[in-house]
């Protein structure tokens, strides 16, 4: 029971720090894309994503979410710098939907090898617990949940881009996605608390 409680408290700490740090480039991209240009948003997010991914790469423990961000924002940067005006305008209008879709793909794709939440939990949990059924189960559930949250944002961002008014932008690009993230954070705590009980 002591080990289970230690795993739970460490998972909570991990999910409130490492994963949220890895999401900073995505949030930054969203904010800058709305108030600046796709070029500035892409380059800024790429620089931050590269800086965040560097420690994991140097330690020989690259993380799917961080590497995925570097690849995604490198792609956005290439499009922003080379695409014709109509393509750039389309990408800029639907950039949030594309980003959320990429986040969902990264999360679901990580389930094939190591769930992305597990990559962060491993930094806090003793290695002898990494292969435990409980540890594996908790991280599969968390990764599935976060992937589903990212996927659920996509249609709202698409609708916001299609309608393109200030009220729909506020509700569909901000209020609903933030609500989904707040729900996911609470669910993360519920899942880790429940598994530790």
142-194 pLDDT, tens digit each: 999 999 999 999 999 999 999 999 999 999 999 999 999 999 999 988 887 76
Its domain, for residue 132, covers 2-196
Number of domains in the chain: 1
CA distance readout (Å), 106 to 37, 63, 97, 103, 165: 25, 10, 14, 5, 30
Specify the pLDDT at position 193: 75
Q: What number of CA atoms fall less than 13 Å from residue 68's CA on the CB side?
A: 21
Supply the pTM of this predicted model.
0.87
């Amino acid at each position: 029971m002591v080990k289970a409680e230690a795993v739970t408290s460490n998972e909570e700490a991990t999910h409130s720090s490492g994963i949220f740090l890895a999401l900073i480039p995505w949030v930054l991209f969203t904010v800058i894309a709305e108030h600046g240009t796709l070029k500035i948003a892409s380059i800024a997010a790429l620089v931050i994503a590269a800086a965040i991914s560097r420690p994991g790469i140097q330690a020989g423990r690259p993380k799917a979410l961080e590497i995925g961000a570097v690849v995604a924002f490198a792609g956005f940067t290439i499009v922003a710098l080379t695409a014709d005006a109509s393509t750039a305008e389309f990408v800029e209008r639907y950039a949030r939907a594309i980003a959320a879709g990429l986040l969902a793909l990264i999360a679901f794709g990580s389930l094939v090898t190591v769930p992305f939440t597990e990559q962060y939990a491993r930094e806090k949990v003793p290695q002898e617990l990494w292969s435990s059924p409980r540890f594996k189960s908790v991280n599969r559930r968390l990764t599935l949940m976060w992937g589903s949250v990212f996927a659920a944002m996509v249609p709202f961002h698409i609708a916001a881009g299609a309608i393109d008014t200030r009220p729909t932008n506020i509700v569909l690009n901000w209020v609903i996605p933030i609500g989904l993230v707040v729900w996911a954070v609470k669910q993360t705590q519920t899942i880790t608390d429940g598994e530790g009980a």
